[in-house]
Structure 1
Amino acid sequence: MMPNSPVPPVPSHRRGRSRFALLATVAALLAGALAWPATERAEAAPATFAHPGVTVSRGQLDFARQQVNAGAQPWKSAYDQMMSSRYASLTRTAKPRAVVECGSYSNPNNGCTDEREDAIAAYTQALAWYVTRDARHAKKAIELMDAWSATVRDHTNSNAPLQTGWAGSSWPKAAEIIKHTYDGGWPNSGRFATMLRGVYLPEVINGSNSNGNWELSMMEAAVGISVFLEDKASYDKAMARFRTRTAAFVYLSSDGALPKTVPSQNLDTRQKIVNYWQGQSTFVTGLTQETCRDLTHTGYGLSAISHIAETSRIQGQDLYGTDVGERLRHALGFQARYQLGEAPPSWLCGGSLHLGLGPVTEVGHNALHNRLGHGMTNTERLTAQNRPAGSNNLFVAWETLTHGDNPG
């Protein structure tokens, strides 16, 4: 079994931020002291929801806008990358469907790609509006959201829960920015809210017993939708399920000889757990339930963890100082070392890994390294190597722009 590596000190080139890091660390320690295991306390919703408050806050948006307008890097190149993408086109035409049918690996693909990409486009247009204050982008975001809210009624086939989670993660990010920063009006915002409540939320709120990235993506959608709807009961339910699933997705040595499990999955023997963990029988800190499947699906799960943690922080409950942050920190570092090219040992996935982690490190790196001062050498190297981080064309988009070294 591989020993856990000690956390290195903050590098000298980061010490200029020492006061910021110290204050953030104290806050994190207090948050950790007040944190709850998911099985002991379910309440997480704030007394009053913060808006815009899904993954990115007004302060983070303001910082990104200032950096872009000043021509500062890496934000300017990240913005240019976003604006040159198909998602930022002002001539984009929505392709809504009443029924989106998605089978395994999107086969059949009846509206699956169209829905995900229109949702990403709405978020892209919302970001473009915020940075430029060009109302054409806000109107395009509204046009895309209105087209779908007037049309979509259901998601079907085997991938319906995951598809709903992916699209449902992007829609509220776009809607939060438009509803709470654009003063040009959005007459159909109520219909959009009805769509989220009636079409998306019921499909994701009860989770999934499939691979962990499914439920984590579904909870990301549920949390974001709950913020937009200001639905405290759904927010609490989604956050409790998220805490349980995160603990079952990323292993820490403090978990014991075997990883934690989700009770409803009835993984009550060692062999069942090993099978669920893709045949991996040696458990080390930072390993995930899908590492031995591939790093792409692992990245989906880690991205959702970071997005939910970021939304929770914006809403007043900082989970980065709890086991959620510890699991995310170690998981990012563990996957990053192999994504960077280190050869896996024979005990890990039979000595062979399928790479492709994706543009998923910016949010966690910013929160855990920049704000809390954790040494994250591998994650930092991979984050810098991938800048500017683009989109995975599913539910991740433009996170160097929104979260890269962003004090928020």
Structure 2
Amino acid sequence: MTRTRTALLSVLSLLAGLLSLQLTGPPPQATAAPTTFTHPGVLVSRGQLDYARSKVQAGQQPWKAAYDAMMSSSYASQSRTAKPRAVVECGSSSNPNNGCTDERQDAIAAYTQALAWYFTRDSRYAKKSIEIMDAWSSTITDHTNSNAPLQTGWAGSTWPRAAEIIKYTYDGGWPGAGRFATMLRTVYLPEVINGAATKNGNWELVMTEAAIGISVFIEDRTSYDKAVSTYLARVPAYIYLTSDGDLPEPPAGSSIDTNAEIIKYWQGQSTFTDGLAQETCRDFGHTGWGIASIADIAETSRIQGQDLYPRIQDRLRHALGFHTSYENGTAVPSWLCGGSVNKGLDQVTEVGFNALHNRLGISMSNTQKYTEAHRPSGTDNYFNAWTTLTHADNPN
């Protein structure tokens, strides 16, 4: 009897352990990738490009001013020469900076030239975009040092936008498209696909934006699904809603789980309200990057037919409204970041504002005031570029 009872207890203990593992293990991976990918389909669709192009051709604002600003920038110059490196080495705050700025800016230039091609139909711009992308795909092999994942996220978010437009709208051909896809698959995707759970959230969000954009271009459904799962877990750990409870959600896959650890991770902020972000009390600049990637990823998902906006729209609208209210002049209360915030949200609101306000009809007075006052948006020289041109009041 004793032996039977002991065996039964062992079985029950094993079952309890398995049940505990099932309940506390990682969340199931989302199935989000479309059966057939839509191209061009990273951040901007053909319909959005056609709409913006028609507005520019008609001389309408704010698109015409946005277009003029883009075309007069150094990124649209036909004399631009790419500066590829085999190994891009980026330390903390890009120090050392061995190819970091060059890579980011060449990626933005490739995207700018691709947009210029689409708007003008002048093949010189398509050829320049191809020249830049080919230069990097024939050279780069690795990113190194402590900022490698972040750097890869910044550049990796931008490259696919350019590649999608060129590959799927330029009829002059791109013989190097396969090599470029290989570069994204072997040099960029492995660096960003596993996220960065313990870093400040803007890291994992831009890395995930890169992973999703790359997955669309190379048509990798498995990586797309994994990136969406990371995204859906990170957004609640980056933007707080009162429905979360007394404390924000901890980042999935991290050891940050006690009250003290969560508060420390949120820059020492211990009072929480709708729209507060994990980096708000660090500065609005890094927070803006996180918000931008949240919107960019949702925008790509919508183009791909698996719309993530319904899953994140409340957090995104509150985050935009919360931060733009202080940018617009609202007095900072004593409970928020010790009564002082480091503003500088930058031009990161256009994509999210258009999606939530213009498409979904959500009233966003603070975000609208801020967005319209900062038109036309240019580029931050990292990964945000020309969103007034592509997304302002765009119904597509």
TM-score over 0.5 (shorter chain): yes
- Are 1:137 and 2:125 matched, yes or no? yes
Q: Equivalent residue for 2:358?
A: 370
Q: Partner residue of 1:175?
A: 163
Q: Which moved more, 1:260-269 or 1:142-151?
A: 260-269
Give 1:261 shift: 1.3
Query: Which secondary structure does the structure 2 equivalent of 1:391 belong to?
Result: coil
Equivalent AA in structure 1 for residue 55 of structure 2: Q
The within-5 A match list for 1:1-400 is 39-40=27-28, 42-208=30-196, 209-322=198-311, 324-400=312-388
Number of the residue aligned with 1:17: none
AA matched with 1:261: P
The runs of 5 or more residues in structure 1 that have no matched partner are: 1-37
1:325 Cα deviation after fit = 1.2
State how far apart, in whole Å, the 2-side matches of 1:146 and 1:101 are: 20
Using the alignment, how far apart are the partners of 2:258 and 2:307 within structure 1? 34
- Structure 1 residues 224 and 84 mapped into 2: Cα distance closer, same or farther (>3 Å)? same
Which deviations, in whole Å up to 9, do the C-alpha atoms of 1:276-321 show, x marking residues without a partner? 0000000100000000000000000000000000000000112222
Q: What's the offset of the Cα at 1:143?
A: 0.2
Gaps of 5+ in 2: 1-25
Matched pairs, number: 370
Inter-partner Cα distance in structure 2 for 1:352 and 1:228: 42
Amino acid at match of 1:150: S
Q: Secondary structure at the match of 2:143?
A: strand
Paired residue type of 1:225: I
Which residue in the other structure is 2:8 paired with?
A: none
> Relative contact order (C-alpha < 8 Å, sep 6+): which is higher?
1
Which residue is equivalent to 1:35? none
SS in structure 1 of the partner of residue 190 of structure 2: helix
Q: SS of 1:374's equivalent?
A: coil
Structure 1 residue identity aligned to 2:213: G
- The Cα shift of 1:268 comes to 1.9
Alignment-mate amino acid for residue 216 of structure 1: L
What is the CA distance between 1:211 and its match in structure 2? Answer: 0.3
When residues 109 and 41 of structure 1 are mapped into structure 2, their CA distance, relative to the original with a 3 A threshold, is closer
- TM-score, scaled relative to structure 1: 0.90
- Report how far residue 39 of structure 1 moved: 3.2
Secondary structure of the residue aligned to 2:253 is helix
Give the SS at the match of 1:120: helix
| Secondary structure of the structure 2 residue equivalent to 1:387 | coil
Post-superposition CA distance 1:7-36 (Å, at most 9, x none): xxxxxxxxxxxxxxxxxxxxxxxxxxxxxx
Structure 1 residue 339: Cα displacement: 1.1
Deviation for aligned residue 1:397: 0.2
Q: What is the root-mean-square deviation of aligned Cα atoms in Å? A: 0.9
Q: Deviations over 1:358-404 (max 9, x none)?
A: 11000000000000000100000000000001101000000000000
For 2:204 and 2:127, the matched residues in 1 are separated by 33
> Equivalent pairs: percent with the same residue?
69
| Aligned residue identity for 1:266 | S
Mapped contact 2:234–2:252 kept (Cα < 8 A)? no
Runs (4+) off by over 6 Å: none
CA offset digits 1:296-353 (Å, max 9, x no partner): 000000000000000000001122222x111111001000011112221000000110
**Maintained 8 Å contact 2:29/2:226:** no
Q: How many angstroms does 1:263 deviate by? A: 3.1
- Letter aligned with residue 130 of structure 1: Y
Secondary structure of the corresponding residue to residue 210 of structure 1: coil
Counterpart code for 1:195: M
Between the aligned partners of 1:206 and 1:40, the Cα distance in structure 2 is 15
Query: Take 1:386 and 1:372, find their aligned partners in 2: how far apart are those partners?
Result: 22
Deviation per residue, 1:95-133 (Å, 9 max, x gap): 000000001110110000000000000000000000000
